[in-house]
């Protein structure tokens, strides 16, 4: 009696399984060959050349970017030191102005009030610092705009 | 091959000549190698990634990376295996992306007109079954049965030991056959 008479099908052998797979993949491979439409070698070569060129240019630009960053950091440091000097200078000159005014007039009360401004207060230093930083950023932005062109 | 006019090629050549960049092959050698391998590689990429758009992108990327490689190739076969290894890695990386590959998998509208509805359904089944395999299993089966690669070549491409290819192939075969014919147990 065969297995069909017992109501079950025999398991496929490894060779049969391989035949199923080989047939399926061979059909799919034939279809893939028919579908394949790769771009021409000239286009692929050209794209590769262009990309290699762009990457080379980017690699060459990288040290320049580092120098730009260093220059900006130096400029920022310089600007901060100038801000410090300017604040000290303003304090000194305002005191000197009050002294001059006092020498001419005994009613120097209004000018004295200017000298009494506390330049270390954040309400004074913050706007001044913001203005100076804005100026610095604007200068750097203008530089990059024209550098690109 | 996609249609390109003679003028396009001349223009592209002129622009490429102007580019002073070093690649691993000269133009003539590359174009000859490309013409011998591109169709088969596209088939491999489209079937292992399950997406034609991805295959198009990865084809260009594979050849670019080959051109940038500094490996001294001993033979044509070595170069081809290296190319397939690049392609395999690219497919594996692409699978990590958000785009689903082999999803409901069959772009029937894009297929060439099948001889009959039965053929179309059969092919859809094959693709669906192929899509249920892991990328490495697809690559294994495709290299073994579509390209007829040896175990050594497959191991070289997939970066696994030659001795393990037989077992991996055995498992992949059973898995594909089980999906195609349910009476086969994976």
Percent of chain A with pLDDT over 70: 68
Pick the residue from chain B with its C-alpha nearest to A42: B9
Cβ separation A38–B123 shorter than 8 A: no
Quick check: is B7 in a domain?
no
Tens digit of pLDDT for each residue in B42-101? 999 999 988 888 999 999 999 999 999 988 888 889 999 999 999 999 998 887 765 544
User: Using CA atoms, how far apart are residues B105 and B125, in angstroms rounded to an integer?
Assistant: 10
Q: How confident is the model at residue A104 (pLDDT cuts 50, 70, 90)?
A: low
Q: State which residues form the domain around B156.
A: 133-180
**In this structure, is residue B125 part of a structural domain?**
no
CATH at B163: 1.10.10.10
Q: Which residues of B touch A20 (CB under 8 A)?
A: 176-177, 180-181, 184
Distance from CA of B41 to the nearest CA of A (A): 9
| A71-89 confidence digits (pLDDT tens) | 787 778 877 877 877 777 6
Q: Which of B59, B130, B9 lies closest to A20 in space, CA to CA?
A: B130
In a domain, B4, yes or no: no
* Average pLDDT, rounded, for chain A: 76
- A21 contacts B31? CB cut-off 8 A: no
* Token digits of residue A114: 């200017």
Residues B96 and B161 in one domain: no
B33 and B92 housed in the same domain: yes
**Which among B2, B19, B130 has CB closest to A53?**
B19
Look at residue B103 and tell me whether its pLDDT is greater than 80: no
CA distance B97 to chain A (A): 23
Helix-then-strand count for chain B, H and E: 8, 0
* B119 falls within a domain: no
Distance from CA of A59 to the nearest CA of B (A): 13
Verdict on whether the full-model pTM lies above 0.95? no
DSSP per residue, B42-109:
HHHHHHHHS-HHHHHHHHHHHHHHHHH------SHHHHHHHHHHHHHHHHHHHHTSSS-SSSS---GG
pLDDT at residue number B128: 82
* Mean pLDDT of the B162-176 span: 93
What is the DSSP code (8-state) at residue A11?
A: P
Using CB atoms within 10 Å of the CB of residue B134, give its burial: 0 to 12 exposed, 13 to 18 middle, 19+ buried: exposed
The whole-number pLDDT of residue B113 equals 45
Quick check: is B145 in a domain?
yes
Q: Does residue B2 lie in a domain region?
A: no
Contact state of B42 with A53 under an 8 Å Cβ cutoff: no
Would residue B107 count as lying in a domain? no
Residues of A with CB under 8 A from a CB of B: 9, 11-12, 14, 17-18, 20-22, 24-29, 31-53, 56
CATH no. for residue B35? Answer: 1.10.1740
Nearest CA in chain B to A57: B21
Region A28-46: mean pLDDT is: 90
Question: What's the pLDDT tens digit per position in B108-147?
Answer: 334 444 455 556 666 677 788 888 888 899 999 999 999 9
Number of domain units in chain B: 2
Beta-strand runs (E) in A56-148: none
Q: Is residue B123 part of a domain?
A: no
Give the orientation angle of helix B52-68 with respect to helix B27-49, to 10 degrees. Answer: 140
Which is nearest to B168 in space by CA: B153, B146, B151, B183?
A: B151
Left, alpha or beta for A70 (phi > 0: left; psi -120 to 50: alpha)?
alpha
């Amino acid at each position: 009696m065969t297995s069909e008479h017992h109501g079950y099908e025999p398991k496929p052998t490894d060779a049969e399984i391989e035949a199923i797979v080989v047939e399926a993949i061979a059909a799919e491979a034939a279809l893939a060959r028919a579908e394949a439409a790769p771009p021409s070698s000239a286009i692929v070569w050209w794209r590769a050349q262009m990309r290699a060129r762009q990457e080379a240019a980017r690699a060459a630009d990288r040290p320049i970017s580092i120098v730009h960053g260093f220059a900006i950091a130096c400029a920022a440091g310089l600007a901060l030191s100038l801000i410090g000097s300017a604040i000290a200078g303003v304090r000194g000159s305002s005191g000197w102005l009050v002294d001059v005014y006092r020498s001419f007039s005994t009613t120097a009360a209004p000018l004295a009030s200017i000298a009494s401004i506390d330049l270390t207060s954040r309400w004074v230093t913050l706007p001044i610092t913001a203005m100076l930083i804005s100026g610095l950023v604007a200068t750097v932005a203008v530089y990059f705009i024209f550098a690109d062109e | 091959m996609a249609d390109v006019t003679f003028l396009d090629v001349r223009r592209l050549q002129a622009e490429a000549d102007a580019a002073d960049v070093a690649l691993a092959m000269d133009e003539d050698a590359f174009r000859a190698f490309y013409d011998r391998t591109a169709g088969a590689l596209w088939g491999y990429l489209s079937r292992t990634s399950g997406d034609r758009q991805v295959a198009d992108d990865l084809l260009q990327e594979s050849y670019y990376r080959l051109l940038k490689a500094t490996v001294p190739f001993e033979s044509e076969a070595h170069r081809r295996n290296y190319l397939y290894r690049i392609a395999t890695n690219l497919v594996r990386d692409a699978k990590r992306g958000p785009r689903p590959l082999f999803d409901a998998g069959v772009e029937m509208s894009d297929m060439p007109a099948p001889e009959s509805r039965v053929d179309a359904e059969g092919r859809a089944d094959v693709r669906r079954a192929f899509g249920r395999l892991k990328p490495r299993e697809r690559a294994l089966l495709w290299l073994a049965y579509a390209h007829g690669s040896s175990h050594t070549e497959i191991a070289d491409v997939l970066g696994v030991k030659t001795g393990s290819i037989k077992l991996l192939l055995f498992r992949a075969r059973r898995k594909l056959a089980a999906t195609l014919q349910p009476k086969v147990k994976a």
